[in-house]
Amino acid sequence: MNSSNETAVSIDDFTWFEFMFYECAGVIGAIFNVIVLYIALRYINTEDKPRQIIVINMAIADFLMCIVYMVTRPYLTKFPIFLCRPYYIVIWTCQMSSCLNLVWLNVDKLIYIQFPLHYYQIVNRRRLLWLSMATWGGLLSFNLAVGYFLNVNGSCIQVSVDSVLYVLSPIFYVVMIIVSFSLSALIYCIAHNLAHMEERQRSRLFHRLFFLFSSTLWTFFTSLPYRLMYIILKHCPQCGSQAFYWCVTVFFRVLIVGIMMNPAITIWTQRIYRLRLIRIFGKFRDNSSTEVLMVSNRRASDRPPEHQPLRCDL
């Protein structure tokens, strides 16, 4: 969830810790996202649960960030120059898509809270598929325009963008995160003040909202500090002290951890993913136990008798 000059630094060499940090974050995040996508595409009916289309979009964006950005980050200086532009366009598009889809998720829940009886008339699979295509298409078109002005200075790790469009990118991140947080706060207030609900119904409602609140708060605290610091440095380079740059580095790594853990939060907070994953592991364990038992029985049946007495009447 960072943009071109945010990913471009002047130091080409990585320490062992930095190398392992990026590689481990990328691999772990990719595995978690593959699990989310497998469960969503294999077991979830998006006709019945159309909002899961938004979750799938977020998982795709985070998966591409893990594979395209994190895993390859230590090798960026070795990339051919012609790959630099598509590399950054994919990164920008995925980051923006993740932020914007979080807004759509909050809007979806707001509609669910405000118009529960008409929810499926307003939100359905077809409309969310169109919204998804419009989101990815619009963000890709914008970043293609920004990428046209990308200048590569020797390698893909040192780039600059000479376009006023690029100024909008960090502002876009901050605005989307604040909008998501504001919508979540509004949803919480509305749900908390529903007078016609019994305590048990209200408890069930907040259980359904837990994923939304967790994802929004996680993104707010792991992403927003770095975004704001980047904007400050962009518009006031002389404002950055050594301590400030240290904080930027720390919060950038927090941002990476945030992207890596997004799918883990999805699995942990959404019952449908959590239970399905438990069932998958349960089946795997049962199959493994069955195979071990079958192998043991086969070996026992093939073993020659050791203590069978000799028959003297033969």
**Whole-prediction pTM:** 0.84
Tens digits of residue pLDDT in 62-91: 999 999 999 999 998 889 999 999 999 999
Query: What single-letter amino acid sits at 86?
Result: P
Structural contact between residues 223 and 173, judged by C-beta atoms closer than 8 angstroms: yes
Q: In angstroms, rounded to a whole number, what is the distance separating the alpha carbons of residues 242 and 76?
A: 26
> Which domains does the chain carry?
10-292 (1.20.1070.10)
Q: In angstroms, rounded to a whole number, what is the distance separating the alpha carbons of residues 37 and 41?
A: 6
Q: In angstroms, rounded to a whole number, what is the distance separating the alpha carbons of residues 205 and 282?
A: 29
Residue 260: predicted pLDDT: 96
Low-confidence ranges of the chain (pLDDT < 70): 1-13, 195-197, 284-314
Q: Which residue(s) pair with 159 in the sheet? A: 152
